[in-house]
Amino acid sequence: MKVTVIRKLMAVTFHAMINIQSLTFEYANHSPLFQNFDWLVSRGETWAILGPSGCGKTTLLYLLAGLKLPISGDIQIDGETIARPRPHSGLILQDYGLLPWSTVRENVELGVNVRNFYGPDGKHSPDNFIPKDNIESWIQRLGLSEVADKFPVQLSGGQRQRTAIARTLALEPDLLLMDEPFSSLDAITREDLQNLTLSLCEEQNITLVIVTHAIEEAAVLGKKILLLDAPPNQTARVFENPNAGTSGFRSSAEFHAMCERLWNEMQKRNVPA
């Protein structure tokens, strides 16, 4: 009881963006992925969720996005228990989820069009939503002007991911959830888009949660890293990585030390006892 009160106090004091309390989740006929799992993310933080496949990291992202609901426990985003996708959260999936029949421009407009479709009802779109004419500026910002009238099949992987980012950011989210967004890109495009994502999130004051199975990516992007293990996950193991995203960090000794530490931790957990 006392612990709950303290946690709630902490959440209010630190402006919690994500506050997960005693989350339990399992798929039907499977052992639980999360059991009494607690996790706290403050506003404006940059998190990487790292773990081996099957650890539940993508499921956690879907829970945060409101696309799946907990069996028990509470997931609060910006102080409100989440029961369906939240208008101010943006989600970018592994294969970008672009509409194949729409051009880049139409894809970037999609979120805004969905909101216009419903109007500001507070459920599908924020109740103070005013359609903004910011599509062209996002297309320009992400360097998509030249391909704006092309279809997804005509784009490179990097351009597709830029389209997905533009579409999400055009809705001005305060929380950005990304599932392995850069895993299918070549090394140079990946680094480019990682930097772009970090700078955009900082500029727009967006809380970033990015799921990855790559240790280096977690260490590059996450100022805080949540390491998940083979399920069930009961406690959040968090690694502080405060200099992630600063220039030159990728080649620093600190970065390599962090990678090694994460590697050792993952190794330790996965070796059968």
In the complex, what is the shortest distance from the CB of residue 261 to another protein, in angstroms, rounded to a whole number?
33
Q: Which of 151, 172, 184, 232 binds another protein (CB under 8 A)?
A: 151
Q: Of 2-10, 114-122, 136-144, 214-222, which segment contacts another protein by CB under 8 A?
A: 114-122
Q: How large is the greatest C-alpha to C-alpha distance in the chain, in angstroms?
A: 58
Q: Does 94 bind another protein (CB under 8 A)?
A: yes
In the complex, what is the shortest distance from the CB of residue 79 to another protein, in angstroms, rounded to a whole number?
19
Number of residues that bind another protein (CB under 8 A): 38
- Tabulate helix, strand, coil % of the chain (nearest 5): 40, 20, 40
- For residues 201, 204, 207, 208, the Cα torsion angle rounded to the nearest 10 degrees is -20
Residue 223 token pair: 């100022």
In the complex, what is the shortest distance from the CB of residue 164 to another protein, in angstroms, rounded to a whole number?
8
Q: Does 165 bind another protein (CB under 8 A)?
A: no
Nearer to another protein, 70 or 173 (CB): 173
Q: Does 166 bind another protein (CB under 8 A)?
A: no
Nearer to another protein, 33 or 219 (CB): 33
Residue 258 φ/ψ region, left for φ over 0, alpha for ψ in the -120 to 50 degree band, beta for the rest: alpha
Q: Does 6 bind another protein (CB under 8 A)?
A: no
State which H helix or E strand residue 36 sits in: strand 34-42
Are the beta carbons of 206 and 176 closer than 8 angstroms? yes
The site string for another protein over 46-75 (x = CB under 8 A, - otherwise) reads ----------------x--xxx--------
In the complex, what is the shortest distance from the CB of residue 97 to another protein, in angstroms, rounded to a whole number?
3
**3 state DSSP class of 269:** helix
Q: How far is CA 164 from CA 104, 158, 273, in A?
A: 9, 10, 43
State which H helix or E strand residue 163 sits in: helix 157-169
Question: Edge-to-edge strands of the sheet including 34-42?
Answer: 34-42, 16-25, 72-77, 80-81
Instruction: Give Cβ neighbours of residue 67 (< 8 Å, ≥ 6 apart).
Output: 85, 91
Q: Does 90 bind another protein (CB under 8 A)?
A: yes
Q: Which of 167, 190, 223, 224 binds another protein (CB under 8 A)?
A: 167
Q: Which of 21, 35, 59, 125 binds another protein (CB under 8 A)?
A: 125
Nearer to another protein, 175 or 225 (CB): 175
Q: Please report where in the chains the tokens 């979120």 appear, as a residue.
A: 111
In the complex, what is the shortest distance from the CB of residue 156 to another protein, in angstroms, rounded to a whole number?
12
Q: Does 87 bind another protein (CB under 8 A)?
A: yes
Q: Does 102 bind another protein (CB under 8 A)?
A: yes
CA distance 141 to 155: 17
Q: Does 34 bind another protein (CB under 8 A)?
A: no
Q: Which residues bind another protein (CB under 8 A)?
A: 62, 65-67, 85, 87, 89-91, 93-102, 110-111, 113-115, 117-118, 123-125, 150-154, 167-168, 171, 177
